[in-house]
Amino acid sequence: MVDYQTSYRMIRTTNVRNGRVNLEDAKFVEKDIFERWTRRAPVIDGDVILTREAPIGEVGYISNLGQVFLGQRIMHYRADPRQLEPRFLFYSFRSPSLQDQFGAHEGSGSVVSHIRVAECHEFELTLPSLNEQRAIVSILGSLDDKIELNRRMNETLEAMARALFKDWFVDFGPTRAKMESREPYLAADIWSLFPDRLDNDAKPEGWSEGTLADYAALNPEGWSRGNYPARIEYVDLANTKWGTIEAAEPIDRDKAPSRAQRILREGDTIVGTVRPGNGSFALVGRLGLTGSTGFAVLRPKSVDCREAIYLAATAPENIERLSHLADGAAYPAVRPDVVLATELARPGPEIVAAFHKITAPLCDRIVANHVEVATLAETRDYLLPKLMSGEVRVREAERLAEAAE
């Protein structure tokens, strides 16, 4: 058994996406395996990593990740600081010029497209002066740093909401505290809503057993051939990860995939039913999105239910449950009604309303941060190729970056 407090994480190709190294589902190993894999080429802060197969050309930057090592099909590069800023190398790898060079290996005739190890030193990049590199890194890095700050803030806010949900709806903490004559830890008006004791089924007295079906409607809306819009913003499982819709792809009606059918509304919870352990879930924060049929869409029956639905459906224990129930060899999946069957106790409506009142500001702030992240990322992605090619000068880029922030 792996000791998660003292073990080490392996970066796989699936952990490197859109310029980030996301270790939410990283594989843990013990110290002896870590030391064996890193004996020749340890990974340190400032290294740039590149996936050379499945998929080609995803890039990541190593910074404050702790004890990590690389799995197969990933190369890492270390800049010579006398000539090259490490983060400038990272942004160079994300530029169209280098991405085109990486992409030249796609469809090269082999069964699996890949970059051979022998070719990993042959890519060409433009190298301005160190001062120019640092100026470019300062602009793009400030945007990325703000994005990362928002992501970390969201992690904290979500952890707070999840802790409260678990205390109220899973552990029944206030009722247990009353039974043990402990001091109240909630406001008096909320504390009084909780029963004084548990029943014979270990639930607060007066509460009943329930599921998400008591709180939400499943897949309530979908496009038909007659009302399909001329253009949609499409959300699929690949660009929805661990609470974040990373991108919504604009697609014309005649090019939309057949699975682009679910109409999404603000306040919906979406949970991926194909390989549910991959964490393709999110709370929808705006109108105008169309989701894949690979999602179970949970729409609150009342606004007070929004946060409880999201937190119950996407709790780590429930994602693990769905993963274990998934059937199928190539694409293990669960039916949407299995998501709807997620257990959630039914207290009185006053407690649900109180929970909403406390957690809604947290979830609203999370959604607002997601919107800001999208704006910052759009600005960075606009500036990156233009700065790297010299089309936009540093001073002009600084003004655009300041406007985005």
CATH code of the domain in which 305 resides: 3.90.220.20
Q: What's the mean pLDDT in 206-232? A: 96
- 45 and 179 in a single domain? The answer is no
In the prediction, which pLDDT does 7 show? Answer: 66
State the pLDDT confidence band at 113, using cuts at 50, 70 and 90. Answer: low
Number of domains comprising the chain: 2
In the prediction, which pLDDT does 43 show? Answer: 85
Looking at the domain assignment, is residue 366 inside a domain?
Answer: no
134 versus 56: the higher-pLDDT residue is 134
- 198 and 51 in a single domain? The answer is no
105 versus 130: the higher-pLDDT residue is 130
Residue range of the domain that includes 219 = 157-357
- Kindly report, residue by residue over 26-76, the tens digit of the pLDDT: 778 777 777 777 666 678 899 999 998 878 889 999 998 888 888 888 888
- 77 and 183 in a single domain? The answer is no
- 163 and 272 in a single domain? The answer is yes
- 86 and 208 in a single domain? The answer is no
17 versus 110: the higher-pLDDT residue is 17
Task: Write down which residue in 63, 80, 102 finishes a domain.
Answer: 102
Q: Give the number of other Cβ atoms within 10 Å of residue 61's Cβ.
A: 22
- 93 and 28 in a single domain? The answer is yes
In the prediction, which pLDDT does 288 show? Answer: 93
Looking at the domain assignment, is residue 236 inside a domain?
Answer: yes
CA distance 253 to 250: 10
State the pLDDT confidence band at 3, using cuts at 50, 70 and 90. Answer: very low
CA distance 184 to 112: 61
Whole-model pTM: value is: 0.85
Contact between residue 43 and residue 68 where contact means Cβ atoms under 8 Å apart: yes
**Can you spell out the DSSP letters for 214-276?**
GTEEES--B--TTT--SEEEEE-GGGEETBEE---EEEEGGGS-TTEEEEE-TT-EEEE-BSG
- 312 and 171 in a single domain? The answer is yes
In the prediction, which pLDDT does 329 show? Answer: 75
Looking at the domain assignment, is residue 122 inside a domain?
Answer: no
State the pLDDT confidence band at 5, using cuts at 50, 70 and 90. Answer: very low
Looking at the domain assignment, is residue 150 inside a domain?
Answer: no
Contact between residue 212 and residue 344 where contact means Cβ atoms under 8 Å apart: yes
- Kindly report, residue by residue over 264-273, the tens digit of the pLDDT: 999 999 999 9
Task: Write down which residue in 61, 76, 102 finishes a domain.
Answer: 102
Query: In this structure, what DSSP letter does residue 123 have?
Result: -
Looking at the domain assignment, is residue 269 inside a domain?
Answer: yes
